[in-house]
Structure formats: structure tokens, C-alpha cells
Amino acid sequence: MTVLVLGAGYIGAALIASHLQSGDRVVAMDNGFATDWDAIGRLMDGNCATLVRGDIREAGSIASVISHAWPVRVVYLLAAQASANPDAATPEYTEETNLRGPRLVLEAVRDAARAAGSPPPPVVYGSSFHLYGPGLHGDVDETCPVGAQADLSHLSKVYAERLGEMHANRDGMTVVPVRLGIVYGVGPVTKRDLRFVTVPHAFALRRLGGLPVTINPSGVRPLAFCHLEDAVAALRLAPVGLAPGTFAPANAATEVLTVPEVLYRVDASAREFGIAVPDAGSREPRTSVVRFRIRSRLAAAGWLPRHDVAGSMPEILRHYAGQPVRTPRSDEADDLRRDT
């Protein structure tokens, strides 16, 4: 049976690599919106894998790739406009991809299973820990309520999760939203456009490129992070053992840091890398913000995260060293108000 990956970008490509290493047949679809198509092709070339150019906004694309991949063991829905940067995409593109796209995918998977007379494969959805909103404290597990959202890309996760719950209850589908923290780390497709990278990568690129680094006052609130390899492990583990008709969110976040604390870890590695950084950042920032503790149902299933931001920065800096940095326009500069 086939593993179907919809969205072969930063996280999707790492997930594909993991399944290929396990000897799985993989079919993947991507529209190339914010991803290096050649890098995806190199990853899949010579393996038991097929890469299709298509778009989850188009019902025909989805039906075609499902037909090509069938029978399917699991569907990973990672295709999304994930950046909160207003210059990353128009609101219309974000809405079409992140709202209409999941509806079309869930309906197509359901209909393909009905036509084949078989149970629908589980759909693992790339959701976000941002779903819980700001001001978290105490233990944050999958039962915590949804919080306020600040941008369309993260607001769309609320709709897509409720949509998945509806299909689980109504159509007997197994839908598994994996609520990812801010993902960082080097993978087969590691972006360097400042509109599409997360905070640890953005700081690394700015230090390497000699670009200014500023932190919005809102950056003092604690955020949840997850290394790319740990995220892939969570995505693979999340649907294991679930009964048909189950809606089962899973947290996949491992470390709680403020943005100044992330910058301190970047700068500590940058100094060791021989990059000049301001002395003002030589001491780890101390804040009095209320922290929260991450709890995940995946821990009981054997998910053992192995990475943290501090230990991952040398690899990230080495990866980017010598590569051109896309310098943001003046209206993009210092756009670190976003958390992703």
C-alpha cells in the first residue's frame, strides 16, 4: 500500500525521506508555490516514489493523485500556506488553500474509499500548536480549548480541525490533527526566503547575512518549538492503533522558549561559528513570563523527542553558510512579529 503525502515542502519532504528509508512506496503532490521543485525531485529520484505537480485547491488534481496512489495506507495533508507573513501570499490564496483545500481532500478520500468498498485510510493533518492561542499556563494537552488567533494561516487550522471532526463523526473517517510547534532544523527542503522560514532560521539567516535583528515587544511571550525530525516522528506515530471513525488530535511540541531566548541560542552558536554578533546578547535573557508545560498523547505511544534549539543551531548555521540570503524589501524588514 502507498503513503500519500499532499504537500512536499519543508515538513513534507522530510516525512517523505523518512518513509522512503523505511522502504515504503510514496506518492506525493505539490504545487511548487514556495518549494524548490528540483530539491523535491532529487529526494524522490531513484526511489519507490512518484512526484505529481498538482494543487489541493483543484478537485481534479486530488482525485487524480488518489487514483494513482490507491490503495493508500495513510494520507498526510501538509499542503498549506503556512506563513503568517503578510507578504507570503494573498488572503485569497491562503483561504483557498487552507480552507477549501482540506474540504476537497477529505471528501476525495472518503469518496475513493466508498468507491473501492474499503475503509478510508487515516488522514493526518498538519495542524499547529498556535491553535491554543496566547496566554497559556499550566499543562497544555489536547483537551485544552482553542484560543484567539492573529492571522489567517493559523485561524484556518481551527476550521480544518473541526471539518475533520465532522467527517470522523459523520463518515467514519479517521482524522488526526498533529498540532506542531514552530518547526526548525535542516531537512531535504530547507527554505531560506525570510517570508517562509521560522524564527530560529530567520535569526540564523540574518546573522549570516549581516542583516539587522529586532524583536517586537510581543516576542516575550513563550512559544512552543519542535525539531523537524521530532515532528516527522510524531506525524508517523499519530495515527497508529486508532479505530475507524476516530478524531484524535496530538500535540507535537517539545520546548518552550521566548523569541529573545531563541536569539540568544542563535548568537551563542554564531559566535562559535566566527560570526560577529552584538555583545548585548552575550547573556541569556531572563523573563518573568508565565510558562506552560506541553503534554502529548503521543508520549504514551513512545514518542521520544531528541532535539532542542540550542543543540540544533550549529547544523542550521552550517547549512546556510555560503548560501545567498534573500534580503527583504524595506516593507518586509524586521518582520519578526510573526511567530512562524
Summarize pLDDT for 110-158 with one digit per residue, the tens. 999 999 999 999 999 999 999 999 989 999 999 999 999 999 999 999 9
One-letter identity of residue 184? Y
Looking at the domain assignment, is residue 53 inside a domain?
yes
- Check whether 322 has a pLDDT greater than 90: no
Does any domain span residue 124? yes
Residue 93 has pLDDT above 50, yes or no: yes
All three cell numbers of 298, joined, read: 503521543
- Beta carbons of 86 and 143 less than 8 angstroms apart: no
Q: Quick check: is 313 in a domain?
A: no
Residues 274-306: pLDDT tens digits? 888 876 556 777 776 778 999 999 999 999 999
List the grid coordinates of 110: 472518503
Residue 306 lies in a domain: no
Q: Does position 175 have pLDDT exceeding 70, yes or no?
A: yes
- Taking only the tens place, the pLDDT of each residue in 1-52 is 899 999 999 999 999 999 999 999 999 999 988 777 888 888 888 778 899 9
Is the residue at 261 inside a domain? no
Q: For the chain, how many structural domains are there in total?
A: 1
Residue 228 one-letter amino acid: L
| Residue 142: CATH number of its domain | 3.40.50.720
Sign of CA dihedral 247, 14, 120, 304: negative
Specify the pTM. Answer: 0.91
Is residue 217 situated within a structural domain? no
Domain that holds residue 21: 2-181+228-252
128-140 tens-digit pLDDT: 999 999 989 999 9
What is the C-alpha separation between 329 and 256, in angstroms, rounded?
A: 31
